[in-house]
Chains A and B, each alone.
Chain A
Amino acid sequence: MIDFEALAAAMGELDEDTVKEILEAVDSAGNAGKAMEACQKGMDTVGRLFEEGEYFVGDLIYAGELMTDAVEVLKPYLAGSESAGTKTRMILCTVKDDLHDIGKNIVRSMLEANGFEVLDLGIDCPAQKVVDTARAENIKIVALSGVLTLALTSMKATVQAIRDAGLDVKVIIGGAPVSAEACKNIGADEWAHSPQKTVDTCKAWAAEQ
């Protein structure tokens, strides 16, 4: 008997040993699906504790590792099962001329834990690649990440390219240099310093689709 509540609590408390121990008992698509839901619930707790100031960036990095490990354990059972479900697909990247990936990866793991299928276009991503992928994959949500102030210029160019291409896409920008003023100047729909705000915003946009 797998205690999914305990799994959710252990993930929320970043208790790696307990998470691993419980996941070892998973042996079917049915309980793998429930285990995935429990892990996602635990990640919600991580996001809440981050918002409340108990956790910080390093904890999110660690939580991302735990979630990635959990997905690796559960993946063989979930492949092709109903639990895999239909996910909202979205694009995430670090913009052109910026090679930072830690913030982007934190956001990716939290988005994935919240049910998004993230097309991670990597770092130093040209505006045209975002446009081409959004068009080819019929993507409606794009998240642009950056750490350098230089990223603001690239974010603006990327948003402009999306608008010029006539794509019906919502764009959120995130990372150290973004702000309300920068968001307005860049022409993005929303901005965030916090990964949880990014998740909440994308969930709201996905619900509108």
Chain B
Amino acid sequence: MNAKDLKQSRVQLFRDAANFKRTERIPHFANVVTWKVFDAGYTLDQAMTNFDVLEDTVVKFLERYPVDGLMDVGIRNQFTVTEAFGQGGYYYYNEEVVGIHDHAHCTVDTLMDYLDDPAKYAWEVILPKKYGESWDEKGLDVWKKTFSEYMRYVKYILHMSSVTGKQYGLPSLSPNNPMMGAIVLGIEELFSNLLGIQQLSVAMRRSPDQIEEFINRWDAERITPAIEKIRNGKGPNYKYCFDSSILMLAHNVMNKKQFERFYWPHMKELLDAYAEKGMNVRIFTEGSILRFADYFKDYPKGTLTFHLEQDDPFAFREALPNVCIMGGMTTDLLANGTPDECVAYAKRLCDELGKDGGFIFSEGKMLSYRNDANRDNYKAVCDFVSSYRL
């Protein structure tokens, strides 16, 4: 099979699994991020700023492990752009570690200023906070240098898309949303960028009306138009495994009342639009989503796929038999088990969760660090999943 046909057959395999159709084999979406850097013999600081090294890590991974999809093709956690912009204390990395500090660009009182004009707010508030008074003098030069690095980065992304698609038949997971960018609900923007975990947690208690006002305006300006485009669009896009990908992080700090007020009404409107058009959505959840399972129980099979991080996949299936599961393989086992133990657990996952469709094999936690998986274990699991026939 040539790469083009292989790519399309994998798209179909993912779509069939997500749609609870019985498939010949279970697709494997490798939730591998920076672990592959170590596996290819590099350190993180060698890879994060060098596109040639990054490409080599991806190629070596795809040559070694027979997977159907890959979370990161070397475009995540690279630092040429952020360093040109003056990385500051946001990201940190060394030979073994890469991470992000919790940060906040706004306070509750400045949220509306940000919404009024995000670019102006960034130029006049966020960047001077980072660079101090000298920002006005050097701002344009920094911007030019950053833009130049950004264009190199875009070129690399396009190149890697071609390498993974045309040489290895790897499909793209999902298209950009109709608004040309990731779908980010207002509450998620507050959590990840504008307020951060600490401030948002306190603000939901101390200033709930202001939080609600921000979310309503954010979603009216950004999510409502996206929903209109979904409703007026052609429906599923069979060039991709999923019609959309959504990230859920902020639920990890919320109690049920807060979820009902700040999250669910906006999420529901979006998911309902996808369901009406027969489109499928992959929701990547960090932490646990099981305590909110009831909210998702009425969607028809084929609409939702949850990529689980910490939830027990068997308990999740019991709670939400209508939702496709992506995930299941634990880093504990990949790191500390034997190849036989890993394969036995992988077989259990495939047999119990995938015999009637509705299961995509993947690793629960992103494989990021050297000890997140033992190479022999990972190889044994990949070989098993790719060859196992139900």
Contact = CB atoms under 8 A, between A and B. Distances in A.
Interface of A: 14, 16, 53-59, 61-62, 65, 97-100, 102, 148-150, 152-153, 176-177, 179, 181-182, 185
B177 interface: no
Contacts of B119: none
Nearest to B200: A58
A62 B205 contact: yes
Contacts of A53: 256, 291
B258 A58 contact: yes
B97 A97 contact: yes
Contacts of B372: 149-150
A152 B102 CA distance: 21
Q: What are the 8 tightest A-B residue pairs by CB atom distance, in nearest-first order?
A: A58-B201, A58-B253, A61-B201, A150-B369, A56-B255, A181-B332, A57-B253, A62-B205
A100 B100 CA distance: 9
Given A149-B369, A150-B369, A176-B310, A58 B204 contact: yes
Contact of B101 (A99, A152, A177, A181): A99
B280 to A, nearest CB: 28
User: Which size class do B's interface residues fall under?
Assistant: 20 to 34
17 contacts: A53-B256, A54-B255, A56-B254, A56-B258, A57-B252, A58-B205, A58-B258, A61-B202, A99-B99, A102-B198, A149-B331, A149-B335, A150-B368, A150-B371, A150-B372, A152-B335, A181-B336
Contacts of A54: 255-256
Contacts of A153: 369-371
A95 to B, nearest CB: 12
Q: Helix, strand, loop or mixed for chain B's interface? A: helix
B365 A65 contact: no
Contacts of B202: 58, 61-62, 65
A54 to B, nearest CB: 6
B249 to A, nearest CB: 12
Contacts of B198: 61, 102
A57 B205 CA distance: 12
A56 B97 CA distance: 29
Nearest to B259: A56
